């Protein structure tokens, strides 16, 4: 299962795919869709092989951002942090403030507010989260929201609706093996 599939990047006009897993191991490869075929890229730098991250294009940093995800080691699963795809290579980002390490985060670009928004996911102990963060000017900021969706460990689909100028979150899972949500939430920044 892939880490994520970005919306079409306006700069490269290509879709981006990173990582995932097969039946034997975590993957750390980077692919683009050329319009007719998948092409494997060979960047000089790369996030570690990992699963359950999220990708979204952020024009303020000039590339596709990878947020969260887990890498497997002999002592357990660890978060991979935040990475930027420049169009030719991966660069690790180290903002001074950031959400707690997590995987399976819902991530979307809000063009009206000009911020990247992250919601929920699960921490390294597999506990579902319900916090909302915005990434702007190279830093993350926690939003204080009076009414927010229940914690979601995975599967919440997040996208911007240009008609209502809101972010829309649909569905998700409470945790592995538990019933899923079928609700819809709107967020206007």
Res 10 pLDDT > 60: no
CA nearest neighbour of 140 among 93, 106, 95: 95
pLDDT at 65: 94
| DSSP state letter for 103 | B
What is the SS3 assignment for 115?
A: strand
Pairing of strands 63-67, 128-136: unpaired
Domain ranges of the chain: 1-94, 100-189
Entry pTM: 0.87
Q: Helix, strand, or coil here: 176?
A: coil
Work out the percent of the chain whose per-residue pLDDT is above 90. Answer: 48
pLDDT the model gives residue 81: 84
The pLDDT value recorded for residue 30 is 95
Cα 33 to Cα 71: distance, rounded to the nearest angstrom: 25
How many other C-beta atoms lie within 10 A of the C-beta of residue 137? 10
What topology is assigned to 1-94 in CATH?
Lipocalin (2.40.128)
110-168: per-residue pLDDT in tens? 999 999 999 999 888 888 899 999 999 899 999 998 888 888 888 888 999 999 999 99
Banded pLDDT at 3 (limits 50, 70, 90): very low
Asked if 80 contacts 71 with a C-beta cutoff of 8 angstroms, the reply is yes
At residue 5, the pLDDT reads: 44
């Amino acid at each position: 299962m892939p880490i994520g599939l970005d919306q079409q990047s306006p700069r490269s006009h290509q879709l981006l795919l990173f990582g995932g897993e097969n039946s034997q191991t975590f993957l750390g490869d980077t692919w683009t869709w050329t319009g007719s075929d998948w092409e494997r890229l060979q960047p000089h730098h790369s996030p570690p092989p990992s699963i359950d991250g999220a990708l979204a294009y952020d024009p303020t940093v000039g590339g596709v951002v990878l947020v969260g995800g887990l890498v497997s080691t002999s002592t357990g699963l660890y978060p991979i942090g935040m990475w930027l795809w420049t169009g030719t290579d991966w660069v690790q980002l180290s903002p001074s403030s950031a959400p707690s390490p997590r995987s399976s985060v819902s991530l979307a670009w809000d063009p009206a507010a000009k911020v990247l928004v992250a919601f929920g996911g699960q921490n390294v102990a597999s506990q579902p989260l319900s916090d909302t963060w915005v990434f702007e000017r190279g830093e993350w900021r926690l939003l204080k929201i009076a009414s927010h969706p229940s914690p979601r460990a995975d599967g919440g689909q997040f996208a911007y609706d240009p008609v209502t100028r809101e972010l829309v979150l649909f569905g998700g899972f409470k945790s592995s093996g538990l019933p899923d949500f079928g609700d819809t939430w709107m967020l206007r920044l």
